[in-house]
Copies of this chain bind each other. A is one copy, B any other.
Amino acid sequence: MSSLRSLYASDGGHIGGNMDVDYVIHYKVSVDKAEAAAGFTQLIEALTRVGLATEVRYGDNDSLLVFVKVASEKHLTNHIYRERVQDWLYGVRITTPNKDLAKEFADQPVTEAERLRTVYLLITKPKSEGGAGIAPKVGLWKDVESIFPLHNHAFNRQWIKQWSTKYFLDDEDLDRIRDKFGESVAFYFAFMQSYFAFLIFPAAFGFGAWLILGQYSWFYSIVSSLWSIIFFEWWKKKEVDLAVQWGVRGVSRIQRPRLQFKWEHEAVDPVTGEAVKVYPPMKRLQTQLLQIPFAFGCLAILGALYVFCFSVEIFLTEIYNGPFKAYLTFTPTIILTGLLPTLSTILSGFAEKLTDMENYETTDNHHAALVRKFAFVYMPFGNLLVPYLDIFKMTAEQFSSDESVTTEGFQINPDRLKKQMIYFTVTAQIVNFALEAVVPYVKRKAFKEVQKVQSKGKSPAASDVPEEHEFLERVRHEAQLDIYDVTVDYREMVVQFGYLSLFSAVWPLTPLCFLINNWVELRSDAMKIAVSSKRPIPWRDDSIGPWLDALGFLTWFGSLVSSAIVYLFSGDSMGPGGDPSNIATSGLLLSILLSEHVYLAAQFVVRYALKQMDSPGLQKEKAERFAIRKQVLEESLGPEAIEKPLPPTPQVGEKITRESLEEQARQISIHGGGTPEKLFWLRQQGMDETIQIGQRLISQSKAAKN
């Protein structure tokens, strides 16, 4: 790969800077040139109106590259200041932004991620909120192909070099990711890293179990479930901790409007008086109902694929007796390997379309709805179907043969499940890796070749000014890259976690395979960002979001499924005597019921235990609170308020003399102020009198026996 080579270039290969460009807008020239020109004019005008400077250059033959940078730093800081005030109001930052802007930005300089995020918002936010309102590929802006920041190649090279030579990532590595690509991407790597570290235990334990206990072991299954619970609960805590350390805790409360959102009418917000865009929720609900046929569709399509592969397998093993039988038995696996990723991609695309139709207002809602739909696409049908496939086989056999074959009752073939599992753990992961790393590269190469042929040698690069040529070529290359979508990577890991939690009892080497896979995965994901994707917009995030729910669900579901599998396949189900089918049912139900509640109890205990532990993030938060409190109190109550919370005021009253008391009584009678309250509190003036009288009352009391 061309840029991969450059990453490893031994001389460090001179790579120029990014010409101070903040963003590049890739603008496709549409068929109608007049329309294209008008659209382009609008684009530049919109950008200029929000204080952005622009330069235009040739892209490829039918596109332009618009370079954007902030024209006035003051406007940028104004915008960033607004964001900071917003953050403070939502409790994301604890310190109030300084009302003196110069001081604020001297204390907390603008980071690269903050700058890029703000400029992106400036370009994309609706006009009513002070942005240019440019949404790629939507409505008026359908010719805007993409809006992307430029890679920092020097950083990328160092990054990939470093990661490929170390086993574990540390906090600093994650911090660097966060500074360049935002918390959203950093959270993915943090999760991957934690998951990888946690996998070491089940990998070792699983290897031991494989040697000693064999498959379908109760003990292995319980330990594995417990591990899932601990990992899940630990990550929940870790996540909060990271969010605090990165200063983004609670950032998910600030909802980001979705650019593609289409509203039906505008209404006035009763609270703020601002115009709000409204899409009737009932209409959305109607679209949401389409999820039900979608779920059944997934079930039917994926189920059909498995049944088909299964039928082929039966045909080849039981009926077919021709040549190449030994090789042909691989046919089902080949069909599965070829068709499953394709079907998944198609169904995922369908899920995305469906979610688009649901037309959510915020990116978070959109994202959560999408993740829910993935559950149906990536459900491990293969493994869940196995017992039913065996029933299917039995029935088929009974139909095909006239004589009653000695079908040994209802029996499930444990080997098929294992084969299925190995398929997923090894074959599918390798295929997946190939799809991720190789396909985009081939696609890009092919695309370039096609372009070269189409342009018949006359490249747009010919008109470049020589000193810009190298830079422009680089940008043209980046414009062709895919947009990095962290969702895809999360999905892969969560699906993997699902297999681990549900089926690892089938083949205890599973975690070991995953451990190895993930070491590679972590690096190949980094490579994917650095080499074969556009630089991601550095979004903030305070959690792995909807994936957390997915993990929780899988942990729970894992306790059910793995106990059922162990019960069905370990051989315990065929106890001595009694009607086996009946005992199997109630035993199965009991083991599911038991394991589910053991799961709930274990979760409770683990959660409680983890709660007792302190965390650096929360300590940091506490320290910040303490510092601000001190500062505010000092400013309002004076510095001594802090050291001695309340200065002692021995209320001995003024020196009480007979004269002063008489004077006071005289004053009261003169002014007629002798309210019962005043008189009540005048009887004992000062501490000493109260003590005196109290002691007299005590000595007169009857309680004491002496």
Contacts and interface: CB of A to CB of B under 8 A. Distances in A.
Contacts of A130: 644-646
Interface residues of A, number: 118
B612 A281 contact: yes
A337 to B, nearest CB: 34
Contacts of A96: 96, 632
Number of copies of this kind of chain in the complex: 2
Interface in A112-132: 122, 129-130
A586 B582 contact: yes
Nearest to A37: B695
A657 to B, nearest CB: 19
A245 to B, nearest CB: 14
B625 A89 contact: yes
Interface string A459-472: 00000010110010
A431 interface: no
Contacts of A89: 94, 625, 628-629
A697 interface: yes
A258 interface: no
Interface stretch (A38-46, A150-158, A187-195): A38-46
B676 A467 contact: yes
A270 B582 CA distance: 62
Looking at A69, A596, A646, the one whose CB has the most chain B CB atoms below 10 A away is: A646
B468 A19 contact: no
A660 interface: no
A694 B64 contact: yes
Contact of A33 (B53, B593, B704): B704
A252 B465 CA distance: 65
A136 interface: no
Interface in A335-380: none
A449 interface: no
Interface stretch (A71-79, A197-205, A218-226, A521-529): A71-79
Contacts of A20: 677, 680-681
A275 to B, nearest CB: 13
Contacts of A122: 646
Interface string A51-73: 11111111001111011010110
Contact of A622 (B66, B271, B651): B271
A552 interface: no
Nearest to A468: B680
A679 interface: yes
A36 B85 contact: no
B51 A651 contact: yes
Contact of A703 (B29, B592, B683): B29
Contact of A698 (B29, B272, B695): B29
A514 to B, nearest CB: 28
A695 to B, nearest CB: 5
Nearest to A78: B637
Contacts of A33: 698-699, 701, 704, 706
B86 A56 contact: no
Contacts of A702: 61-62, 455
Nearest to A129: B645
Interface in A678-706: 679-681, 683-684, 687, 690-691, 693-695, 697-699, 701-706
Nearest to A79: B646
A585 B583 CA distance: 10
Given A71-B651, A85-B632, A694 B44 contact: yes
B85 A703 contact: no
B701 A78 contact: no
Contacts of A300: none
Looking at A17, A45, A586, A626, the one whose CB has the most chain B CB atoms below 10 A away is: A586
Nearest to A690: B54
A452 B540 CA distance: 73
Contacts of A619: 270-271
A174 to B, nearest CB: 23
A138 interface: no
A44 B465 CA distance: 89
Nearest to A281: B612
A672 interface: no
A622 B272 contact: yes
Interface in A653-679: 676-677, 679
Contacts of A576: none
Contacts of A467: 676, 679
Given A586-B589, A632-B85, A687-B45, A698 B16 contact: no
A601 interface: no
A57 B579 CA distance: 84
A650 interface: yes
Contacts of A101: 636-637
Interface string A605-631: 000000010000001001101101100
Interface in A1-33: 16-17, 19-20, 28-33
Given A592-B593, A625-B89, A632-B99, A703 B56 contact: no
Given A55-B690, A585-B586, 4 more contacts: A53-B681, A62-B701, A81-B637, A89-B628
30 contacts: A17-B677, A32-B706, A33-B699, A36-B704, A41-B694, A44-B687, A48-B649, A48-B650, A48-B687, A51-B651, A53-B681, A54-B684, A56-B693, A61-B703, A62-B701, A63-B701, A72-B649, A75-B649, A78-B637, A82-B633, A85-B636, A281-B612, A455-B702, A467-B679, A468-B676, A468-B680, A471-B676, A582-B582, A582-B583, A592-B593
Ranked 7 nearest A-B pairs via Cβ: A62-B703, A130-B645, A586-B586, A589-B589, A271-B623, A48-B687, A130-B646
Interface of A: 16-17, 19-20, 28-33, 36-37, 40-41, 44-45, 48-58, 61-64, 66-67, 69, 71-72, 75, 78-79, 81-82, 85-86, 89-91, 94, 96-97, 99-101, 122, 129-130, 270-272, 281, 455, 465, 467-468, 471, 579, 582-583, 585-586, 589-590, 592-593, 596, 612, 619, 622-623, 625-626, 628-629, 632-633, 635-637, 641, 644-646, 648-652, 676-677, 679-681, 683-684, 687, 690-691, 693-695, 697-699, 701-706
